[in-house]
Structure 1
């Protein structure tokens, strides 16, 4: 299995590029906040006792690190799943020559281990450099003791690598579960069909996540104004849990939204619009894979932006927050946006690239490249719209809860310009990614691509 894993990594490194970026980002982030925690732990007592603005370095490192790991788990699960799906035919062939599901899972673990070790050193160096910059910013705002310095030790990077391995292995176990159990014959034909329906357990888990997210938002809404930071964290965690619910129940919600939004597109574009709508509704799982990262990007970014605007509005009215709180939320927004952007780009590229055989079959029955690109344009627009609507729904619920705690009203202060940029950013990441990948994918002879299956 070890030699097979290395062989696949050497032959098709591009299939693991999205996973490598996600793991690199996780190592860098955990190294960053681990270094800040190490600086606080190793500082002399007199330095630790220095009064500073804000919640303190350990709280910042703990909260930011916890949120980063939670979001990173989601991103790494997604990236691992696509890396494995690119190998589905090879894994199926291994199964036909007596490879067991345990051996398939072991192969996935080895690939993840090798990829993690490959990005460990650059990720650690990037995280250490980011820690120095972040600590400097904290010094400038009086949020860290002036004499606080980062210790010269590789321990934070090593711990970050260990955490990333643990997250990656857990993500691998989730992503490989269905692929290792699927029958070899079914895997060989999986390029053109979508197997199975949304299971009862998945729906129950989605409903459980929906209830859990609602409880967290209720907790956020009932916080007093002097505990606005706690309300903000509860609202943010609530939005993350609701996004998990969206991912679990996605095939149902995405299909319904695609059907509603696809109706006008079928009228405006009778040919390619109808085909794009049929593709999205017929492949609900594929649609969910594409829209959930968009919803993650929009939901988290809009939640943080609207909460920041609402907190500033509350500060002008009641001095309930401070400039340091606003700055921390902006830094948190930048961190979450990085993870969500990586997930969005990786997903739309992977989902489109694995449709090579489908595009070849359409070309064999008479579709031209121009018609395929028009179909992909319509699909990209629908995918973006569905993801934006799902993310906006989550952001609306989370910010209503936060606004209740901050101002006593369920109507938050919405920065229209910032929200417009968020939607534009989601479209910029999604539409060009789908079209560029599609343009590359449809190159070549369709007869060869139709018979090649998954690459």
Structure 2
């Protein structure tokens, strides 16, 4: 299985680029915050007392908690698409007598190989980022001048072990379906999409929804003196709600696409009708595309609104770290890191989803569709995808920021910075629409008959 696994990676390098970038970011993130944690542990007590604030260990833990979770969320998403683009090949292996265990072993080999390839660059980037971040903290008086990043390899080893564990767990879940069904059915399934969302997935989505709601309730009931904890609970709750969106995404995407498709079919009768039919007929594919957009909008919107709400607290309220200039800087740095992860996930997903439709585009061309018509159809699909993703992300951000606002001001109506939120929506649209169109233009090139037969892949 190892030669076959490596052969697949050489044959489809684009399918593993997103996974490699996601693993690199995850490895760098864990290395960075692990190094900061180790620096605090290694520093003498007398040195650590030379700084104001909660301490480097607390900052690294609070700052890295959400960032690490998002990083591994991106890894799982990227791995799912790497396997999805190999679905047909894995199905063919099953038809020529490959056992389910061999199929899973092939996938594990690809995950291990990709992790090893990204380990050293991730370590280096994480170590450099830790030193620069520590220097910024020291410059702002949040870390003692004498603290240094130790030379221990423990953070790097922990980062590698964590990335490998998440990758192997995700690969086991992703390869489960293709390895358990009959070979002939696996080959048929590679060309079709199931019409219903599985009961187990819906139950898990409901559980995540309840968990996110409990976290938001915890955030809303925190006293004003614990506003930092309220912010962390609200941000973690938004991430859990986004997991619920990912699990129940096909159902939610189908409903939203049906609602938005009515005006689209009226405004653009030709391309709009075809785009609406594609989005509703392939709800799982639409869900895969909108979840990263929702992640980008949900997390960045939550942090932006929370920061604005904390800054507009009543003047008589007790000042906390949330409203201090240093904490605002920390929130901005964390927001920049989360946007980086979400942007990588969005671009990787949209490129993968659009690129795997080469045969579909070729079939449309064979039955008379022109390239210009396909581009118009893709334009409508791209706009609808962006709108659905923004709506889902805005719903999550609204719920999380309302919970935080309840703790901060006593009112569930947060302070919404309209201009900043507008830029978030614009950023999501800029990532979504051009990404889909650029990949689509590349996918419609080449002889249609050759693409349908598989020779263009």
| C-alpha deviation, 1:51, in angstroms | 4.1
Which residue pairs with 2:177 in the alignment? Answer: 178
Which digits, 9 at most, give the CA deviation of each residue in 1:246-275, with x for residues without a partner?
111111111111111111111111000000
Paired residues in the alignment total: 454
CA distance in 2: counterparts of 1:172 and 1:49, whole angstroms: 45
Aligned partner of residue 256 in structure 2, secondary structure: helix
Could you tell me whether the CA contact under 8 Å between 2:253 and 2:286 is conserved in 1? yes
State the superposition RMSD in angstroms.
Answer: 1.5
Q: Quote the Cα distance in structure 2 between the aligned partners of 1:64 and 1:171.
A: 25
Seen in structure 2, the aligned counterparts of structure 1 residues 66 and 167 have a Cα distance that, compared at 3 Å, is farther
Is the CA contact 1:37–1:57 (under 8 Å) kept in the aligned structure 2?
yes
| CA distance in structure 2 between the aligned counterparts of 1:257 and 1:61, rounded to whole angstroms | 39
Structure 1 residue 195 displacement after superposition: 2.2
- Shift of residue 279, structure 1, vs aligned partner: 0.4
Q: Which residue of 1 aligns with 2:365?
A: 363
Checking the alignment, whether the CA contact within 8 Å between 1:314 and 1:407 is kept in structure 2 is yes
Structure 1 partner of 2:325: 323
SS at match of 1:411: coil
Partner of 2:138: 139
Structure 2: give runs of 5+ residues left out of the alignment: none
SS of the residue 2:295 aligns to: helix
State the shift of 1:315 in Å: 7.1
- Residue number in structure 1 paired with 2:79: 80
Q: Which residue of 1 aligns with 2:435?
A: 433
Question: Residue 453 of structure 1: CA displacement?
Answer: 8.4
Measured in 2, the distance between the counterparts of 1:291 and 1:361 equals 25
Which residue is 1:61 aligned to?
60
User: Which residue of structure 2 aligns with residue 22 of structure 1?
Assistant: 22
State whether residues 91 and 190 of structure 2, in contact with CA within 8 Å, keep that contact through their aligned partners in structure 1: no
Moved segments of 4+, more than 3 Å: 189-192
What is the CA–CA distance in structure 1 between the aligned matches of 2:140 and 2:401, rounded to whole Å? Answer: 27
User: TM-score with structure 2 length normalisation?
Assistant: 0.96
C-alpha contact (below 8 Å) 2:215/2:236 kept by paired residues: yes
Could you state the TM-score of these two structures normalised by the residue count of structure 1?
Answer: 0.97
Question: Where does residue 108 of structure 2 map in the other structure?
Answer: 109
Correspondence for 1:396: 398
Contact 2:309–2:416 under 8 Å retained in 1: yes
Q: Deviations over 1:5-27 (max 9, x none)?
A: 11112222221000000000001
> Could you say which residue in structure 2 is the equivalent of 1:3?
3
**Which residue does 2:351 correspond to in 1?**
349
Counterpart of 1:158 in structure 2 is 157
1:298 aligns with 2:297: yes
Cα distance in 1 for residues equivalent to 2:181 and 2:392? 30
Q: CA deviation at 1:69?
A: 2.7
1 CA distance for matches of 2:384 and 2:407?
A: 35
Report how far residue 79 of structure 1 moved.
Answer: 0.8
Q: Partner residue of 2:374?
A: 372
- Counterpart contact for 1:192–1:358, Cα < 8 Å: no
8 Å CA contact 1:33, 1:61 repeated in 2: yes
Structure 1, unmatched stretches of 5+, are none
- 1:192–1:6 Cα change, 3 Å: closer
CA distance in 2, matches of 1:189, 1:451: 16
Which residues in structure 2 correspond to 1:136-285 (within 5 Å)? 136-190=135-189, 192-285=191-284
| Cα distance change of structure 1 residues 167 and 428 upon mapping to structure 2, 3 Å threshold | same
Separation in 2, partners of 1:379, 1:220 = 37
